[in-house]
Structure 1
Amino acid sequence: MQMKALVTLAFSASIGLMFLILACALPEYNNWWPFFVLMFYVLAPIPSIIARRMSEDTGGSNPCKELAYFVTAALVVSAFGLPIVLARSPVAQPVIQWGACALVLAGNVVTFLTIWGFFIMADSDDVEYSMW
């Protein structure tokens, strides 16, 4: 079951990145500004990883984990906001087109669900990836 879940997560991550690359590289869009969303993909899991290492499970509310969840949520919302802001730029010609924005948003959904699925899988007791 572990290997099947890991392969499924890898496949869904590649689908999310494919949406992002299509938003940048298709001839009608041909604009690499949406690729800055990769920064959010890298930064989003870092606060949760740090909080899991720094805090112990006490069963109650943990300020370290709550702050990590807040920062992670801010990064995820920013990843969804960046393509929308780029598509609605107030200049005469928007930075990206709405089709590219839709592809980036679809890639965001798939990629962040993949990251969330990895953390769910890593938290289960029967997986050796629980070192995270």
Structure 2
Amino acid sequence: MFFDSRLVSLAFAGSIGMTLVILGCALPKYNVWWPFFVVLFYILSPVPTLIARRYNENSGNSSPSVYEVAIFITMGFVVSSFALPIVLSRALVIQWGACFLTLAANVVVYATLLGFFLTFDSDDADYSMW
């Protein structure tokens, strides 16, 4: 039951993050959908960590170099998702309000992803398929 409440709270936080991205794109004042490309970074950012975890489980190798490469690639995605709205607003493609909404969404979504990995990485988690 404890993990179900965590899962619900993570889903709620993720939906708040996506709402902030959509508000940054769809409000009549902004009305530009370029900031929505950060969703691609949201999707791609956990993939290297999941692949590294699966590789270490299947190979029996516990070398930290695989995790370090995965963290490096993940940080590249995270930095890119924060840099994209800033570059777009500096180039006057989007307004600064849309940039700030997208940056706030980045903080919420990445905190949600971090919470997901911290919650379901423990040994007593019922959701061991992750």
Asked if Structure 1 and Structure 2 have the same fold, meaning a TM-score greater than 0.5 normalized by the shorter chain, the answer is: yes
Between the aligned partners of 1:34 and 1:19, the Cα distance in structure 2 is: 11
**TM-score normalised according to structure 1 size:** 0.92
Number of the residue aligned with 1:100? 98
SS of alignment partner, residue 125 of structure 1: coil
- Which amino acid in 1 is paired with 2:90? R
For residue 116 of structure 1, the aligned residue among 100, 114, 117 is 114
Instruction: Kindly state the Cα deviation for residue 6 of structure 1 after the two structures are TM-superposed.
Output: 0.2
Alignment of 1:12-91 (within 5 A): 12-56=13-57, 62-89=64-91
Distance 1:106 1:130 in 2: 30
The TM-score, its normalising length taken from structure 2, stands at 0.93
**C-alpha distance in structure 1 between counterparts of 2:126 and 2:52, whole Å:** 19
Structure 1 residue ranges, 4+ long, deviating more than 2 angstroms after superposition: 56-59
Alpha-carbon distance in structure 2 between the residues aligned to 1:41 and 1:130:
22
Three-state SS of the structure 2 residue aligned to 1:55 is helix
- Kindly state the Cα deviation for residue 62 of structure 1 after the two structures are TM-superposed: 1.0
Code of the residue aligned with 1:40 in structure 2: it is F
Q: Give the letter for the 2:108 counterpart.
A: V
Cα distance in 1 for partners of 2:120, 2:129 equals 8
Corresponding residue pairs, total: 127
Q: Higher helix share goes to which structure?
A: 2
Using the aligned pairs only, state the percent identity: 57
Q: Deviations over 1:112-131 (max 9, x none)?
A: 10011101111011112232
1:2-25 C-alpha deviation (Å, 9 max, x unpaired): 000000000000000000000000
Q: Deviations over 1:5-50 (max 9, x none)?
A: 0000000000000000000000000000000000000000000000
The alpha-carbon deviation at position 79 of structure 1 amounts to 0.3
Q: Report the 3-state secondary structure (helix = DSSP H, G, I; strand = E; otherwise coil) of the residue aligned with 1:102.
A: helix
Aligned to 2:128: 130
What are the ranges of 5 or more consecutive residues in structure 1 without an aligned counterpart? none
